[in-house]
Amino acid sequence: MRVGGGRKSDGGMRLEVGDGPRNQSLRPQASNLFSLQPPTSNASHLNLLRKLLLVAFCCGMPLSGAWAAEWTALPSIGVTGLYNDNLFLTPLPHHETYGLLVTPAVEFSGKTERLNVSSQVKGIFASYYGERQFNFFNLHLPFSIRYQTEKDMLGFTGGFVRDHTLAGELLDTGLVLGFTQRNQWTANPTWVRKITENLSFQSGLQLSDTTYEDGLRLGLRNFQLFGGSGGLLYHLTEQDEIRLSGSYSDYHTTNAPLSFRASFPGVDLSLTHAFTETLTGTVFGGPSFVSSSIQTVGGSIKSERLIWRFGGSLAKKFEYTSIQVNVARSIQPSGFGGLVQTDRAGVTISHNLSDALSASLNGSVFKTSSLTPSQLGATFPESRFASVTPAIAWKFAEWWKLELSYSYRIRDVDGFSEPVMSNGTMFTLSYNYW
What number is the average pLDDT over the span 212-223?
Answer: 87
Give the separation between CA 76 and CA 13, rounded to whole angstroms: 13
Residue 156 pLDDT grade (very low, low, confident, very high; cuts 50, 70, 90): very high
Cβ neighbours of residue 232 under 8 Å, at least 6 residues apart? Answer: 199, 200, 201, 202, 243, 244, 245
Cβ neighbours of residue 176 under 8 Å, at least 6 residues apart? Answer: 33, 88, 89, 166, 170, 383, 385, 411
Predicted confidence (pLDDT) at residue 136 exceeds the cutoff of 70 = yes
Residue 422 pLDDT grade (very low, low, confident, very high; cuts 50, 70, 90): very high
Q: Are 307 and 332 in contact (CB under 8 A)?
A: no
Beta-bridge mates of residue 295: 300
Q: What distances in angstroms separate CA 11 from CA 74, 76, 174, 258, one per listed residue?
A: 8, 12, 39, 54
Predicted confidence at residue 15, as pLDDT, reads 37
CATH fold of the domain at 2-432: Porin (2.40.160)
Predicted confidence at residue 42, as pLDDT, reads 46
CA-nearest of 104, 102, 101 to 129 is 101
Predicted confidence at residue 291, as pLDDT, reads 92
Give the separation between CA 86 and CA 420, rounded to whole angstroms: 9
Predicted confidence at residue 379, as pLDDT, reads 66
What number is the average pLDDT over the span 62-82?
Answer: 76
Predicted confidence (pLDDT) at residue 21 exceeds the cutoff of 50 = no
* Mean pLDDT for the chain overall: 84
CA-nearest of 281, 260, 283 to 270 is 283
What number is the average pLDDT over the span 259-274?
Answer: 94
What confidence tens digit (pLDDT) does each residue in 319-373 have?
Answer: 999 999 999 999 999 888 888 999 999 999 999 999 999 999 999 999 999 887 6
Residue 219 pLDDT grade (very low, low, confident, very high; cuts 50, 70, 90): confident
Predicted confidence at residue 68, as pLDDT, reads 56
Give the separation between CA 371 and CA 413, rounded to whole angstroms: 16
Residue 205 pLDDT grade (very low, low, confident, very high; cuts 50, 70, 90): very high
Predicted confidence (pLDDT) at residue 44 exceeds the cutoff of 60 = no
Lowest-confidence pick of 32-36, 129-133, 259-263: 32-36
Give the separation between CA 101 and CA 423, rounded to whole angstroms: 18
Q: Does 218 or 252 have the greater pLDDT score? A: 252
Residue 11 pLDDT grade (very low, low, confident, very high; cuts 50, 70, 90): very low
Residue 47 pLDDT grade (very low, low, confident, very high; cuts 50, 70, 90): low
3-state secondary structure of 217: helix
Length of the chain: 434
pTM for the full predicted model? 0.79
Domain ranges of the chain: 2-432
